[in-house]
A and B are shown apart, each in its own frame.
Chain A
Amino acid sequence: QVTLKESGPALVKPTQTLTLTCTFSGFSLMTTRMRVSWIRQPPGKALEWLARIDWDDDKFYSTSLKTRLTISKDTSKNQVVLTMTNMDPVDTATYYCARTTEYFDYWGQGNLVTVSS
């Protein structure tokens, strides 16, 4: 059974760095073709893909956000970490992690992050 769960702060201040952790089970990021992505959704708005990390440690980022994002993995803990720098109120959103191929087949429940002073 594949599960993913996001964890991190519910509130961050403008200019701070956000760190989110995705803890998963039911698959291994050491297995060929396994990948995990981060996706976000502002309240009432559409989904937006942010970043992806692959089994071979290849990393890919949204072109519009790549200067602010870093994705990493800890295969021993079955975790993927996303950091986003210089947070702004427009970054207020629910952040999801999802197992990835050319689509997203399993999703976490999401972590709502509000950016406010």
Chain B
Amino acid sequence: QSALTQPRSVSGSPGQSVTISCTGTSSDVGGYNYVSWYQQHPGKAPKLMIYDVSKRPSGVPDRFSGSKSGNTASLTISGLQAEDEADYYCCSYAGSYTLGYVFGTGTKVTVL
């Protein structure tokens, strides 16, 4: 199963907005409204930031938002803060009896 495609890196100054894209196929991103996003700081476990394309778990700042159009999902971080510097991974559910879950290639967000 091929990984979902993400940009290798994005960067922005504090207070700015950055958007990370996540491109898959009709078998994963385009076929299900089950895209999730994870933040991972160095040496730490991933943390769920967005689920079901655009929902935020309790405790995740509303600066993080998600969307999807066709086979591409996006994560936007508004009002960038220093603590947002991390790796971000998208993931799509792709059917229990087919591909299972497919992760993205990962994006490094740098706060300038």
Contacts and interface: CB of A to CB of B under 8 A. Distances in A.
Interface of A: 37, 39, 45-49, 52, 58, 60-64, 96, 102-105, 107-110
B100 A61 contact: yes
Contacts of B99: 63
B36 A104 contact: yes
Contacts of B105: 46
A46 B8 CA distance: 11
The interface size bin for chain B is 20 to 34
A103 B100 contact: no
A7 to B, nearest CB: 15
Nearest to B37: A103
B3 A105 contact: no
18 contacts: A46-B89, A46-B104, A46-B106, A47-B38, A47-B46, A47-B91, A47-B103, A49-B91, A49-B100, A49-B101, A49-B102, A52-B96, A63-B100, A96-B45, A102-B36, A103-B93, A104-B48, A110-B45
A109 B45 contact: yes
B36 A103 contact: yes
Contact of B48 (A61, A64, A103): A103
Contacts of B36: 102-104
A115 B63 CA distance: 40
Which residue, A49, A96, A103, A105, has most C-beta atoms of chain B within 10 A?
A: A103
A103 B89 CA distance: 12
A102 B103 contact: no
Contact of A107 (B46, B51, B106): B46
A64 B32 CA distance: 21
A103 to B, nearest CB: 4
Nearest to B36: A103
Nearest to A62: B100
B103 to A, nearest CB: 4
A60 B93 CA distance: 13
Contact of B91 (A64, A104, A109): A104
B1 interface: yes
